[in-house]
Every structure is written in C-alpha cells, then in structure tokens.
Amino acid sequence: GLLAHMGDDDDGSVLAARLASDDVTEIGARHGSTSVAHATIADDGSAAYDFRVAWDPRPTSDWLERQWTHVHVGSFSAYRDGTRRLLERALDRPEAPLVTFDPNIRASLIGSRDEVRARAQELARRSQVVKLSDEDADWLSPGVALDDAADRLLAMGPRVVAITRGGDGSVLATPDARVSLGAPRTEVTDTIGAGDSYMAALIAHLLAHGLPVTAAELEAAGSYAQRAAAITVSRRGANPPTAAEIA
C-alpha cells in the first residue's frame, strides 16, 4: 500500500495506473496537484533535481485496519509536520511490523539541519533497518567516516544499517557483523531511482529471508539490493526491476 499525496490530475493518473499494474493499493485519496521532480542528467549519469511539491496526504478511512507486515518511511515526507501524526499512527501497531527508514535527504525540501537530524534520529530509533547514502550520512554528520556513522546509527537501536556509496558499492552492518561490497559493473545511463531500488530490493530480501545476522547473510542481502540498483541505473528514468529481473 502507498500513502502519499497524488493529485487528481494527469500525472496522478499515470502514477495510479502504474501502481495498479504492480498490485499496489492506494491508501490515500487523490486530490489537487501531483508533485513533480524535474531532473537534469550530467555526463556521468548523476542527476540534479528541481522539485515542485504538493504534500497533503489524506488517508482512506480503513488504512489502519490493514494488517501491514512492514512499514517503510522515507524522504522529505518524514520531516514534514503534517506527516508526523500519520507516521506515529502507522508505527504504533499491535502487530509490530518490520519498520525500515531511508532519510533520503533533499535539503531544499526540509527544515534546518538540527531539526532534521533530530527527526532522523527519532525515526532511526523506531526502525529495525536504516538505509542511507554516503551523501545522506555526510549531511547528517559532516566529516564522520562511514563506519563511524554506521556505528552511531546502530547504537540508536536498528538491527541493520546499510550505507550506499554510488559506484563504490555499499557497506552493511549489524551490531556483530559488517561487510563492504563493491558495486556490480554496469553501463550507467542515469542514476535516478538507484537508491530507492536498493532500498526496495533490500526490504524484499529481508521480508523473504529475515533480518541478517552473519556476514554471509549481510552479503547476500546487500548483493541482491546492489543488483537491483545496477539494473535501474542501466536504463533511463526511475524504472526499477522486477524480482524476476534481479534473479
């Protein structure tokens, strides 16, 4: 299920059709305008964004009655005051679903660094899995080495922390194990959706196999997520792979 703000405009219809084709349930009412990110692609495939954001999610009346096995929180919406109440209701569930968090920092859309850092730490404490990019880590804790950033997050309570490093792969850590993975070799078309694909594939792997404990289990989860991201960057746009494509 997806709780977001999608407009009742043409862009919202396009998104709704894609969600329906992937068997995703909308648990928010469509209204107003759909947010748009205008991306500019550099020669190396990296993207810069200009955002036009409308954010007023209006959940359907039955959204909390569903038995979610997993709740994912991510990006600028995690730091909006209007989202905090909804997140608290989603996370305070009697069935204690798996909670994952991706800070996905978009500095132009969020508050001050101190406010965002405090909120990110609060959500990290509520989560079993935190994934962030090396750029996110440096924005939240400037000058801190990635291993130290992972240790700080683990100390807050998550069972797994993953830090992506673009073309250099990713680092995954638990309180008792840690692996550093090189990125798969691939021809980069653009990087839009790479981090989200990594996150989605990591979640899918954890739901199928459980939270990793050993270094070998961490490596399996990270490798699966990296294969998904590699496929995404090999083609144009935020077009993540299916499970069949990753296998």
Phi, psi (deg, nearest 5) at residue 70? -160, 140
Mean of pLDDT values over 96-114: 90
Judge contact between 98 and 131, C-beta under 8 A.
no
Q: At 87, is the pLDDT very low, low, confident or very high (cuts 50, 70, 90)? A: confident
Q: What is the pLDDT of residue 82?
A: 79
Tokens of 134: 């090396």
* Nearest one of 60, 73, 72 to 30, comparing CA atoms: 60
Q: How many residues does the chain have?
A: 247
Q: At 12, is the pLDDT very low, low, confident or very high (cuts 50, 70, 90)? A: very high
Within a 10 A sphere around the Cβ of 60, how many other Cβ atoms?
15
Q: At 238, is the pLDDT very low, low, confident or very high (cuts 50, 70, 90)? A: confident
Is pLDDT above 90 for 62? no
Within a 10 A sphere around the Cβ of 41, how many other Cβ atoms?
15
Within a 10 A sphere around the Cβ of 153, how many other Cβ atoms?
27
Q: What is the pLDDT of residue 174?
A: 97
What's the distance, Cα to Cα, between the start and end of the chain in Å? 24
Tell me the DSSP string of 176-240.
Answer: S-EEEEPPPP---S--TTHHHHHHHHHHHHHHHH-S--SHHHHHHHHHHHHHHHHHHHTSSSS-P
CB-facing half-sphere around the CA of 205: CA atoms within 13 A: 24
Judge contact between 169 and 214, C-beta under 8 A.
no
* pLDDT tens profile 169-228: 999 999 999 999 999 999 999 899 999 999 999 999 999 999 999 999 999 999 999 999
Q: What is the pLDDT of residue 237?
A: 86
Is pLDDT above 90 for 104? yes
Q: At 120, is the pLDDT very low, low, confident or very high (cuts 50, 70, 90)? A: very high
Q: What is the pLDDT of residue 63?
A: 86
What is the C-alpha separation between 170 and 130, in angstroms, rounded? 13
* pLDDT tens profile 122-159: 999 999 999 999 999 999 999 999 999 999 999 999 99
Mean of pLDDT values over 97-104: 92
Which domains can be identified in the chain, with CATH numbers?
1-64 (no CATH), 67-246 (3.40.1190.20)
Is 126 buried (19+), middle (13-18) or exposed (0-12) by CB count in 10 A?
Answer: middle
